[in-house]
Structure 1
Amino acid sequence: MSRPSHWDDNADYPVDDWRTEVANGDTRLGYLDWIEARSEMLAPEDSPVRAEVAPRRDAVRIRATDRLGNIAYIHREANRPMRCTLATGVSAALFYAGITVDEMTCRFALDDCETADKALAIVRRYGSLDYGYCHAGPPPGWDSSPATPSALHLLADLLGAIERLAATRPEVAAQIDLAAMQRARAFIAMELPPGSREG
């Protein structure tokens, strides 16, 4: 099954809804990844959409070094969006890794590529560094490390505390963003195994 174009508008998940979430800081996903996440989050447990497995995309870690020795990494965990991080650990635009011509086209191509070798070829095609690009290889556990379980458990505990507060103080209940609570519950349900949700 081929991935739809970045420019196609999905009738079930309008691009205006995605823009609103981006503007509010509720998502950093690209439009197509946002559609995937929303459809998985809202699908019933027995839905065939949930059962379908997306094609696997390799973890990527490309080291970009300029002639002055400045280093940036273009990387992603498997099946996640591509990112650029400076050697200091600061997130940056692809520009800092020498992608100066058409950063958005390069980013779309990188997000769609399935293997680390294809990603390196795309970076070399769009990149402008004299010194070059090379595979840096994923660090140990890069591909398989999930979100920090303790942070997810803290989020689950926070949702429980908010619900208890709303039950005991009705004036607080009117101030709770129910949509944000629902998104947080859906995120926890996707990330934590059912047996580990109890704090």
Structure 2
Amino acid sequence: MSRPSHWDDNPDHPVDDWKTEVANDDTRLGYLDWVEARSEMLASEDSARTAEVSPRRDAVRIRATDRLGNIAYIHRETNRPMRCTLASGVSAALFYAGITTDEMMCCFALDDCETADQALAVLRRYGSLDYGYCHAGPPPGWYSSPATAPALHLLAGLLGQIDRLATIMPDVLDQIDEDAVKRARAFIAMELPSGSHGA
């Protein structure tokens, strides 16, 4: 799909709106980049609103210890995906928690669990550790509080600085992880009310 001319006015994102944001120093993006960013933001908001509501899944924190004393944690925060983290804080495969047969099936079963007790039963069924599994606190250094509004505003400010830097020094774009920036924009779009992104 070819990029539209920079003189074309997008009816969903009028030039006058872009001019207002530029005048208020709410954006440093060119018009076409601004249209693209706004379209992505609105698409992510729509998908978040129309996403099917999944059942509540409790937080899970299970410690797995092997015969050598190596520790791995199988954990998730409320309504988040299940993860495996080594005691050192490094993310790892379920293999490190003693799941040596059909790791994928175990992963599916864990994601379907609603409580920590159900997850513990799944690990005992699929796991092969001699010392086994038990309920535990979070992995060392694991901070699980949801993102606060000030943190989200700082992230939004950081993205604004990236946009400014890209305008001043276009060659720096090669050094920026575009996927990370898109994920950050989508996250902010879901977490912050509209109109507060530039705050």
**TM-score, normalised on structure 2?**
0.61
* Structure 1 outlier segments of 4+, above 2 Å: 147-155, 161-167, 179-186, 191-199
**Highest Rg: 1 or 2?**
2
- Judging changes above 3 Å, is the alpha-carbon distance between structure 1 residues 42 and 107 closer, same or farther for their aligned structure 2 residues? same
Give unpaired runs (5+ residues) of structure 1.
1-37
**Any residues of structure 2 matched to 1:44-193 within 5 Å, and which?**
49=50, 53-137=53-137, 145-147=145-147, 152-165=152-165, 169=168, 172=170, 183-192=183-192
CA-atom RMSD, angstroms? 3.7
Q: Aligned equivalents of 1:192 and 1:143: distance in 2?
A: 21
Verify the 8 A CA contact 1:59 1:138 in the aligned structure 2: no
Matched residue, 1:3: none
Q: Deviations over 1:123-159 (max 9, x none)?
A: 00000001111111458xx897113656533331132
In the aligned structure 2, how far is the partner of 1:144 from the partner of 1:183?
19
Identical-pair percentage: 73
Counterpart amino acid of 1:136?
A
How many angstroms apart in 1 are the aligned matches of 2:108 and 2:193? Answer: 32
Matches within 5 A, 1:13-24: none
User: 2:21 — aligned with what?
Assistant: none
CA contact (8 A) 1:57 1:78 kept: yes
TM-score normalised by the chain length of structure 1:
0.61
Unaligned runs of 5+ in 2: 1-40
1:120 deviates by 0.5
Match of 2:46 in 1: 43
The one of the two structures with greater contact order (alpha-carbon pairs below 8 A, sep at least 6) is 2
SS in 2 for 1:91: coil
Change (3 A) 1:86 1:121: same
